[in-house]
Amino acid sequence: MGVIGLGARAEARCRELSRPPYSEDPNALTRTYLTPPHRAAMDRIAGWMRETGMSIREDEAATLVGRLEGTKPGSPALVFGSHIDSVRDAGCYDGPLGVMLALACVEAIAAAGRRPPFAIEIVAFGDEEGSRFQTSMNASRAFVGRLAEVKLDVRDRDGTTLADALTAFGRDPTRIASVTRERSSVLAFVEPHIEQGPVLETAGAALGVVTSIAGQWRLKVRFAGRAGHAGTTPMHLRADALAAAAEAVLAAERIATEGPADLVATVGQVAAKPGAPNVIPGHAEITIDVRAGTDPVRDEGLRQIEAAIAEIAMQRGVKVEVERVQNLPAARMDARLQGLLKRAAEKFGHAAPELVSGAGHDAMMLADFAPTAMLFIRCAGGISHNPAESVTPEDCEAALGVLLAFVDVFAAEQPE
Ligand code: HGY
Ligand code: MN
Ligand code: MN
């Protein structure tokens, strides 16, 4: 297969990885960190990497690392990568497409018998979404040495700790520090990823270059009211935890809607106890995801939402606890790499507009560690975190061409 076709095959491989054994669900794509589908996907991708002549290793955070040596063995690497875990009932391109396009890029270089002056590595992180352990990006945090943020005692819904899950997966959590890379071993990090929004499609652009990644707060809000009989308790005597949570959901939506255009707030999970139809809920819990392109806007949105929650609880006579589960500051992409990506895109006649990423990415972790950039690929209707997520083989071919051209311009910039 020549270069043409490798981009289309990258798209097809994402679809292959969307079915069992690479999914926990026979009728949908769900692949969470350190599960058998995660292992199956790593094994399949490792096989594809070996076919291109890459060496393979797996680090203690269960990140798959493929490496193609350059003309100078043992040299620092241009690292491509993304994640191979998913949200529940996911689309199949969010994460894997970046890994598959990077693999196609290495395949094309190897097939042409070319060797850049540096190594090329591909990393497949297993935990960007945080779908299993609530905190996200544990693998890329370890990769860059943010080990204090990797909470090995955090538990999944079944009560399994991250440490136990790593051990069951064949990893050694006591050696998690060995995951961290020498800063000098990474020349730059480039993450190809679907846009997950409508900007490129609206602009009629197949590709885009990311300027910064929006910052996010993840909250867990717990309301404690008073359970009671649904039939005998007059409305004015209730302390209904779920009603308070419902008012908080609408307050978060109102604050984000009335705030700056880039401020967004989402309640993705709601739970109520005891969960009986004839019992006033005594307890309720919601998650709130607050984001904005800059931290001052994000933090002001958080302040207003937390103030509204406190007021609602006081008015309704319920107790409330707000836990700030995760703080991901906005991340700026490297200006020089953005320029090289733009140049590479323009070589192929692609305008590749610059845009902010509202979605979070492992690139947020790499941005303070090494020069980091993201190449966005258009996705239909901007739909993502949804099985209707889709890209075209043609746009994947275009992305592959740009990544290959990027390797050339990046190599031309390297000191002799
Ligand atoms: O939530 C996000 O933005 C990413 O898809 N994990
Ligand atoms: Mn995602
Ligand atoms: Mn993603």
Ligand 1 atom showing the smallest separation from residue 129 Cα: 6
Residue 134, pLDDT above cutoff 90: no
DSSP 80: E
Tell me, in angstroms, the distance from the centre of ligand 2 to residue 289's CA.
13
List, for residues 31-74, the tens digit of each pLDDT value.
999 999 999 999 999 999 999 999 999 999 999 999 999 998 89
| Probe residue for ligand 1, chosen from 85, 132, 219, 385 as the CB with the greatest number of ligand atoms within 8 Å | 385
- At 390, the pLDDT band (50, 70, 90 cuts) reads very high
The dihedral region occupied by 15, where left means phi > 0, alpha psi between -120 and 50, and beta the remainder, is alpha
| Probe residue for ligand 1, chosen from 128, 134, 287, 362 as the CB with the greatest number of ligand atoms within 8 Å | 128
Percent of the chain with pLDDT over 90: 95
Ligand 1 atom showing the smallest separation from residue 358 Cα: 3
Residue 1, pLDDT above cutoff 90: no
- CA trace torsion 355, 356, 362, 363 (10° rounding): 60
Q: Which residues lie with the beta carbon below 6 Å from any ligand 1 atom? A: 128-129, 359-360
Q: 1-10, 16-25, 358-367: which has the minimum mean pLDDT?
A: 1-10
Listed residue (36, 60, 216, 222) closest to 152, CA to CA: 60
* Helix ranges, 373-414 (H): 393-413
**Average pLDDT of the residues of the chain:** 96
Listed residue (167, 236, 191) closest to 94, CA to CA: 191
Domains of the chain: 6-214+330-413 (3.40.630.10), 215-328 (3.30.70.360)
Alpha carbons 403 and 181: distance in angstroms, whole number = 23
Q: CB–CB of 395/195 below 8 Å?
A: no
Q: Which are the contacts of 236, defined by CB distance < 8 A and separation ≥ 6? A: none
Q: CB–CB of 333/367 below 8 Å?
A: yes
Mean pLDDT of 387-391: 98
Alpha carbons 199 and 376: distance in angstroms, whole number = 10
List, for residues 97-117, the tens digit of each pLDDT value.
999 999 999 999 999 998 899
Listed residue (46, 83, 87) closest to 67, CA to CA: 46
- Phi, psi angles (nearest 5°) of residue 121: -115, 150
Mean pLDDT of 230-237: 98
List, for residues 192-210, the tens digit of each pLDDT value.
999 999 999 999 999 999 9
Residue 373, pLDDT above cutoff 90: yes
At 416 the pLDDT is 72
Ligand 1 atom showing the smallest separation from residue 83 Cα: 6
Mean pLDDT of 376-392: 97
Q: Which residue is closest in CA terms to ligand 1's atom 6?
A: 129
Q: Coil, strand, or helix at residue 150? A: coil
Q: Which residue is closest in CA terms to ligand 1's atom 4?
A: 360
User: Any idea which ligand is nearest the CA of 91?
Assistant: 2
Q: Which are the contacts of 234, defined by CB distance < 8 A and separation ≥ 6? A: none
Angle CA(336)–CA(378)–CA(124) in degrees, nearest 5? 70
At 3 the pLDDT is 56
Tell me, in angstroms, the distance from the centre of ligand 1 to residue 136's CA.
9
- At 348, the pLDDT band (50, 70, 90 cuts) reads confident
* Helix ranges, 134-231 (H): 138-143, 162-168, 199-203
Residue 79, pLDDT above cutoff 70: yes
Of 415 and 320, the one with more pLDDT: 320
List, for residues 352-371, the tens digit of each pLDDT value.
999 999 999 999 999 999 99
Helix 96-111 × helix 36-51 angle, to 10°: 20
Tell me, in angstroms, the distance from the centre of ligand 3 to residue 195's CA.
9
Residue 2, pLDDT above cutoff 60: no
List, for residues 322-334, the tens digit of each pLDDT value.
999 999 999 999 9
| Probe residue for ligand 1, chosen from 29, 82, 129, 213 as the CB with the greatest number of ligand atoms within 8 Å | 129
Residue 83, pLDDT above cutoff 80: yes
Element (H, E) at 65: strand 64-68
Q: CB–CB of 214/358 below 8 Å?
A: yes
Q: Coil, strand, or helix at residue 275? A: coil
Tell me, in angstroms, the distance from the centre of ligand 3 to residue 387's CA.
14
Mean pLDDT of 10-37: 97
Q: 111-120, 222-231, 297-306: which has the minimum mean pLDDT?
A: 111-120
* Helix ranges, 353-392 (H): 363-366
- At 415, the pLDDT band (50, 70, 90 cuts) reads confident
At 160 the pLDDT is 98
Ligand 1 atom showing the smallest separation from residue 384 Cα: 5
- At 139, the pLDDT band (50, 70, 90 cuts) reads very high
Mean pLDDT of 18-35: 97
| Distances from the Cα of 349 to the Cα of 133, 204, 274, angstroms | 42, 13, 59
At 353 the pLDDT is 96
Q: CB–CB of 69/88 below 8 Å?
A: no
- At 135, the pLDDT band (50, 70, 90 cuts) reads confident
